[in-house]
Amino acid sequence: MGALPPTEEKPTPARSRWPVAPRRDMSIVQLLPNMLTVAAICAGLASIRFSAAEAFSAAVVMILLAAVLDGLDGRLARFLRSESPIGAELDSLADFLNFGVAPGMLMYYWAFPAGNDFGWGAVLIYVVCTVLRLARFNVGNEVAAGLARQGKFQGVPSPAGAMLAMAPLYIAWQFPSLPMAPWPVLAGWMVLVGLMMISKLPTPSLKAVRVPTDRAAFVVIAGIALVVLLLRYPWAVMSGVTVSYAAVLLWAYGKSLIVRR
């Protein structure tokens, strides 16, 4: 009696991280949010290139452009009802590049031009804290979810972290007559901002701000005035906004200490 032919084992299909939805056609308009995210990634890469070429003002502009695009893509996706898992992944990767790597490299080339190893270490800590924050945000936790229902963040969000990380640069350009802060101070500042991003400190969110309908026009006018001032006096406005946000963080920290008592 002959031996039975060997059975052919079928390979087990790889499991997808996201459930695969049935294929459907999408209009070009529905792809606009992802296009904005990719444009933000390109802006972040351009910022790194400008930083390496010591064109620091252009590098800052690219990061600010990436922040604007980051604020638009999610809202546009919700408006067009074109949210997708790949869009969420793209947005997270864009945030890591634009608000982690790009500001870190900008500060490294500007603040530590001699290739200071301690400065490079501070930049690495900042960038790693950024990716840890984004990973924590993607996974989610009960504390962060509870704060989100109150209109707050857990820790400093990555766009605000990038703005804080670059604060010494704005202030130095706004007040060129002042001496530049020594490199240990700048390195410590980068580490501090990174730790604030992964901290559990409740921080305010603009999403919680509510404006009465009869005053909405004044808010729009104030927003337009802020944009005009930003275009005319960019470093003064960025310095003022950053210092104001830092003051809000100090107030939030003091309030949290009072609540713990």
What structural domains and CATH numbers belong to the chain?
29-203+212-260 (1.20.120.1760)
Where b means 16+ CB within 10 Å and e means fewer, 208-232 reads eeeeeeeeeeeeeeeeeeeeeeeee
The backbone torsions φ and ψ at residue 74, rounded to the nearest 5 degrees and listed phi first, read: -65, -45
pLDDT tens per residue, range 126-154: 999 999 999 888 776 655 555 665 667 88
pLDDT tens digits along 155-208: 899 999 999 999 999 999 999 998 888 999 999 999 999 999 998 888 877 766
In angstroms, the CA 85 to CA 70 distance is 16
17-43 as b/e: b if 16+ CB within 10 A: eeeeeeeeeeeeebebbbebbebbbbb
Using alpha carbons only, how large is the chain's radius of gyration in Å? 22
Q: Which three-class secondary structure state does DSSP give residue 16?
A: coil
pLDDT at 7: 47
